[in-house]
C-alpha cells in the first residue's frame, strides 16, 4: 500500500474488506486475510461464539452467513489511534449488520488481516436502557391512581411466574446468574432467577471462612456497576456476598430465593419449557421459552468413591462443604488435592493449630498473586492500566481478540518472566517435594483454566507453609480410607480426624442430566474445555469453550458461568442472543458445536 501512516494503512484494509463484503464477493473478502488467519466472532456474524481459522473457514462462514448479515460501515474507531509494533498493526473499528451494531479489533500483518475480532454490542431497536436511553424515573405532574416505583416493583414480582410467564429462566443465582439477569433486565427480557439459598450472595457466604478472591479487583467488576475505588484488591467472600445481594436489589432482578428446580422438560412443538420449581415449599410451574443453567463453570462436587469411606470414624467432606477451621484446632487433617481450595483450607487450618497434611496426586501449577497481577494481568487489569485510560470493556475485548489456538504464544513469555522473578520461591517448593508444572506447553494459569478449569493455585500465602514444612506433603493415589485415616498406594498411612476432599467438580453437563435427563446431557455433550488435546482437555479441537454462552444441540438450553470476568463479559453476548429470540429476530446459527461426550 502507498499510504505512509499507520491509520491510513489500517483504514485501507478495512475499506477493501468492507467493500468486498458489501459486494458479496467472498473470494475477495477472504483474500484480505493472510493464510494463517483467525477470525473470532462473538454473535455478530455467526449467532454463535466461533473462531474461523484460515481463509477456507472464513470463506465457508461467509458463504453461509453473509446474505442475511449484510455488514456495512466498516470504519476505524475515531477514539482509538491504531498502533504498530514488530510489524503488526493493531486497530479498533466499528461496523453494523442488518440487525445490530458491533465493534472489533484487527491485527494486520504484511497489509492483510492476521487476527480479527467482531463482537455484537447491541440490537437495532432493542438497545439497552442506559445512558441517553435511561428511564426518566420520576413522572412529573399530577395523575390519578398512579403507582409508585415500589408499587410497580411489587406488582411485577407478584405477577411474573404466576399471571405472566417469564421469557427466560436462569437456574443459579451466583455471579453468573446475576450478571446475566442484569443484562436481560436492561434489554427488557422478562426473567426469573432461581436460587436455592436464602439470599443473593449466599453461595459465597456459605463457603469456608478464609475464602477470598484470588483475582484482583480490576478483573472482577460486574456489568453496569463497578466496585468502588476503595474496594480491596482481593475481596473476602462475605464482602462479595454482600455486594451480590446489593447488586441484585439495585438492578431490580426478579430473584427467587429458597427455590430449587426439581425437573424440566422441553416441548419442541410449543417452543417452551416446563420448569417445576419448589419455591420455599410451594410448587410453581413455569413455562419459559429459554432455560439457562448458570450453575458455575463447574458441575456438581466431584466426591470420590474410595474404598472404606463408609467406615472412617472421623469427619469427612468435600471442600465445597468445608465449614471452616474452628472445630479442628489440634486435630489431624488430611486434604486430598493440591489446587486452590486445598491450599486455602490448609492455610486456615494451620492458623488454627491443626496438624495438616496435603496429598498431592498430580503436579500443580503455582503462580504468586503479585506476579500474576503485575506481569500476567497488569497491562489490562490493574490500577496503572486504569490510569493509562484502559477501561474494563476495552480490556475484555483485547483479551477476547486473542485466538485460543495461538493464545499460548502470548502467555508463555509472561510465565517465563514469572519463573525467573520467583526463582527462589519455586526452588523452595521443589525442595519441599512439591511437584510443579506450568502446563503442557509452559503457558501457565490462563491456558490451564481455559483448557480444563483446574490444576493450579494462585498463591496468597499457603505455599510458604509448604516450603517451611508447616503444612506437610504426601504423594500418591488413595488406596483406601481406613477407620483412622488415609492409606496411599505407596503404603504410607496418614492418620486423620478430618479428611477434606479437594477433588474438584464435574462437568456442568451433570446438572443437565439431573434436571432434564441423560438423553439431553448426551445430546449436548461436553461442557467446558477447548479440545486442545492437552492434559484433561481431550480433542478434537473446538476453538471455543464448549457449549458455553452459545447455542447447544438442545434447543433453547444454554450454559452460563465462569469467573467474575467471564460472567461479566460473556453475559452480554448470551443476553443479546436471548433478546433476539424474544424479539423474533432471525438467528441462523453457524457452526453449531459437534457432540463430544465426557471421557
Measured at the CA of 284, the angle between CA 282 and CA 290, to 5 degrees, comes to 145
Which run of H or E residues covers position 469?
A: none
> Domain for residue 148, yes or no?
no
Judge if 473 and 519 occupy the same domain.
no
Same domain membership, residue 349 and residue 287: no
Share of the chain above pLDDT 90, in %: 86
Residues 493 and 569 in one domain: no
**pLDDT interval class at 599 (50, 70, 90):** very low
H or E segment to which residue 297 belongs? none
Phi-psi region of 546 (alpha: psi -120 to 50; beta: other; left: phi over 0): beta
Enter the pTM of the model: 0.95
- Tens of pLDDT, residues 257-295: 999 999 999 999 999 999 999 999 999 999 999 999 998
- pLDDT tens for each residue of 326-385: 999 999 999 999 999 999 999 999 999 999 999 999 999 999 999 999 999 999 999 999
Mean pLDDT within 556-583: 97
Grid coordinates given for 138: 420520576
Tens-digit pLDDT profile for residues 3-18: 459 999 999 999 999 9
Quickly state the pLDDT bin for 299 (edges 50, 70, 90): low
**What domain count does the chain have?**
3
Residue-range definition of the domain harbouring residue 88: 6-123
* Residue 147, domain member (yes or no): no
pLDDT at 590 over 70: yes
What is the chain's length?
599
Closest listed residue to residue 160, CA positions, set 292, 252, 254: 254
Residue 255 belongs to a domain: yes
Q: What is the mean pLDDT of residues 176-184?
A: 98
Q: Is the pLDDT of residue 319 over 50?
A: yes
Strand 272-279 to 282-286 pairing: antiparallel
pLDDT score of 248 = 98
CA 484 – CA 371 distance, rounded (Å): 40
Cα–Cα distances in angstroms (integers) from residue 532 to residues 424, 452, 562, in the given order: 32, 10, 19
495 & 379 share domain: yes
390, 492: one domain: yes
In tens, the pLDDT along 191-216 reads: 999 999 999 999 999 888 888 898 99
Residue 143 lies in a domain: no
Amino acid at each position: 500500500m502507498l499510504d505512509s501512516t499507520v491509520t491510513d494503512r489500517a483504514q485501507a484494509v478495512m475499506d477493501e474488506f468492507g467493500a468486498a463484503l458489501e459486494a458479496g464477493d467472498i473470494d475477495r473478502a477472504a483474500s484480505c486475510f493472510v493464510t494463517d488467519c483467525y477470525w473470532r466472532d462473538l454473535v455478530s456474524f455467526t449467532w454463535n461464539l466461533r473462531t474461523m481459522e484460515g481463509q477456507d473457514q472464513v470463506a465457508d462462514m461467509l458463504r453461509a452467513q453473509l446474505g442475511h448479515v449484510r455488514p456495512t460501515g466498516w470504519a476505524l474507531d475515531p477514539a482509538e489511534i491504531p498502533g504498530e509494533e514488530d510489524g503488526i498493526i493493531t486497530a479498533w473499528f466499528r461496523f453494523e449488520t442488518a440487525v445490530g451494531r458491533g465493534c472489533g479489533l484487527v491485527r494486520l500483518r504484511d497489509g492483510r488481516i492476521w487476527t480479527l475480532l467482531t463482537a455484537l454490542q447491541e440490537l437495532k431497536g432493542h438497545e439497552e436502557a442506559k445512558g441517553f436511553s435511561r428511564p426518566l424515573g420520576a413522572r412529573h405532574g399530577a395523575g390519578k391512581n398512579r403507582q409508585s416505583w415500589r408499587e410497580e416493583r411489587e406488582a411485577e414480582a407478584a405477577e411474573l411466574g404466576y399471571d405472566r410467564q417469564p421469557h427466560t429462566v436462569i437456574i443459579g443465582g451466583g455471579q453468573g446468574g446475576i450478571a446475566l439477569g442484569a443484562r436481560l433486565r436492561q434489554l427488557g427480557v422478562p426473567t426469573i432467577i432461581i436460587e436455592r439459598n436464602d439470599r443473593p450472595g449466599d453461595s459465597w457466604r456459605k463457603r469456608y471462612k478464609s475464602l477470598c478472591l484470588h483475582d484482583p479487583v480490576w478483573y472482577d467488576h460486574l456489568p453496569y456497576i463497578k466496585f468502588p475505588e476503595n474496594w480491596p484488591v482481593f475481596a473476602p467472600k462475605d464482602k462479595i456476598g454482600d455486594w451480590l445481594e446489593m447488586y441484585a436489589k439495585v438492578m431490580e432482578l426478579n430473584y427467587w430465593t429458597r427455590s430449587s428446580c426439581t425437573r424440566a422438560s422441553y416441548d419442541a412443538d410449543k417452543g417452551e419449557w416446563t420448569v417445576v420449581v419448589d419455591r420455599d415449599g410451594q410448587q410453581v410451574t413455569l413455562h419459559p421459552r429459554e432455560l439457562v443453567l448458570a450453575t458455575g463453570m463447574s458441575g456438581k462436587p466431584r466426591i470420590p468413591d474410595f474404598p472404606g469411606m463408609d467406615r472412617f470414624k472421623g469427619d469427612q467432606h468435600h471442600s465445597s462443604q468445608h465449614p471452616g477451621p474452628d472445630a479442628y484446632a489440634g486435630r489431624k487433617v488430611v486434604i486430598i488435592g493440591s489446587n486452590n481450595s486445598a491450599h486455602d483450607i490448609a492455610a486456615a487450618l494451620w492458623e488454627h493449630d491443626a496438624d495438616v497434611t496435603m496429598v498431592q496426586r498430580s503436579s500443580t501449577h503455582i503462580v504468586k498473586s503479585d506476579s500474576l497481577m503485575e506481569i500476567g494481568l497488569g497491562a489490562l487489569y490493574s490500577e496503572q492500566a486504569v490510569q493509562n485510560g484502559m477501561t474494563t470493556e476495552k480490556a475484555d475485548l483485547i483479551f477476547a481478540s486473542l485466538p485460543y489456538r495461538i493464545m499460548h504464544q502470548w502467555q508463555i513469555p509472561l510465565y517465563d518472566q514469572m519463573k525467573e522473578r520467583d526463582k527462589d520461591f519455586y526452588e523452595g517448593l521443589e525442595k519441599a517435594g512439591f511437584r510443579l508444572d506450568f502446563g503442557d506447553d509452559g503457558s501457565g494459569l490462563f491456558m490451564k483454566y481455559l483448557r480444563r478449569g483446574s490444576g493450579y493455585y494462585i498463591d496468597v500465602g499457603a505455599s510458604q507453609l509448604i516450603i517451611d514444612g508447616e503444612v506437610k506433603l504426601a504423594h500418591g493415589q488413595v488406596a483406601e480410607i481406613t477407620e483412622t485415616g488415609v492409606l496411599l498406594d505407596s503404603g504410607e498411612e496418614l492418620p486423620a480426624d478430618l479428611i477434606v476432599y479437594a477433588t474438584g467438580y464435574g462437568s456442568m453437563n451433570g446438572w443437565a442430566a439431573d434436571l432434564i435427563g441423560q438423553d439431553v446431557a448426551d445430546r449436548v455433550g461436553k461442557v467446558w474445555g477447548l479440545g486442545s488435546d492437552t492434559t484433561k482437555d481431550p480433542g478434537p479441537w473446538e476453538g471455543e469453550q464448549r457449549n458455553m454462552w452459545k447455542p447447544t444441540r438442545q434447543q433453547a438450553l444454554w450454559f452460563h458461568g465462569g469467573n467474575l470476568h467471564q460472567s461479566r463479559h460473556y453475559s452480554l453476548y448470551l443476553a443479546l442472543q436471548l433478546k433476539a429470540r424474544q424479539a423474533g429476530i432471525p438467528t441462523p446459527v453457524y457452526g453449531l458445536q459437534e457432540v463430544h461426550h465426557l471421557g
